[in-house]
Amino acid sequence: MPDDHLTVAVALTDEAATLDFGARLAACLHAGMSVWLEGDLGAGKTTLVRGLLRAVGVTGTVRSPTYTLVEVHLVSGLNFYHFDFYRFNQPEDFLDAGLDEYFQGQGVCLVEWPERAAPYLPPADLRIALSLAPDHGRLVRCQTASERGRRCLALLTAVPCSSSPPPA
Ligand SMILES: Nc1ncnc2c1ncn2[C@@H]1O[C@H](COP(=O)(O)OP(=O)(O)O)[C@@H](O)[C@H]1O
Ligand SMILES: [Mg+2]
């Protein structure tokens, strides 16, 4: 049994820091990985995904999938599936919507409100929990749940935070 549990906690002082964290995470992900994003409404889940998707080259608007359940972004032949299960009334809605097929391919799955589909959702590689910090920023806590998740997080912690460029 590999030692696949690694936890990383980072303070995100403002929205730019959440976007930057998403971008750093993007550099560590691989095809077929599944990332759960947990935290209350307004915790910053969509913001983190927005930073991640922009970093991989998504140039258009990154909409929250609150109403569509899934937004698909195709980048360099790799699909990024961004889910939001907030509106599920019961976990079976996941099966009724036929969403399980998305998790069987090589796409990267980024899931907001995974707990609302929990019994039917394939296991995560990474679990990311966002919460409000006392200074009005956010705290992000990442926990690995597989060997490839552990490798991803090990890589993430090896990459230093990028500093913001000075204004022009
Ligand atoms: N680190 C942060 N500090 C302060 N505000 C943030 C931070 N990260 C994101 N936000 C803000 O939080 C709000 C809600 O973010 P959003 O990503 O929509 O949350 P969620 O998807 O978890 O409901 C947005 O206005 C966003 O700008
Ligand atoms: Mg959201």
- The pair of structure tokens assigned to 22 is 């998403």
Q: Is 1 in the pocket of ligand 1 (CB under 6 A)?
A: no
Tell me the percentage of the chain whose pLDDT exceeds 90. Answer: 86
Residue ranges of the domains in the chain? 7-158
Q: For 47-87, what is each residue's pLDDT tens digit?
A: 999 999 999 999 989 999 999 999 999 998 999 999 999 99
Report how far residue 146's alpha carbon sits from residue 123's, in angstroms, rounded to the nearest whole number: 9
Mutate to test the pocket of ligand 1, among 47, 71, 164 (most ligand atoms within 8 A of CB): 47
Q: Which atom of ligand 1 is nearest to the CA of 41?
A: 23
For atom 25 of ligand 1, the residue with the nearest CA is: 42
Paired strand residues for 144: 126
Superfamily of chain region 7-158:
P-loop containing nucleotide triphosphate hydrolases (3.40.50.300)
pTM: 0.93
Residue 6: the pLDDT is: 85
Report how far residue 51's alpha carbon sits from residue 2's, in angstroms, rounded to the nearest whole number: 31
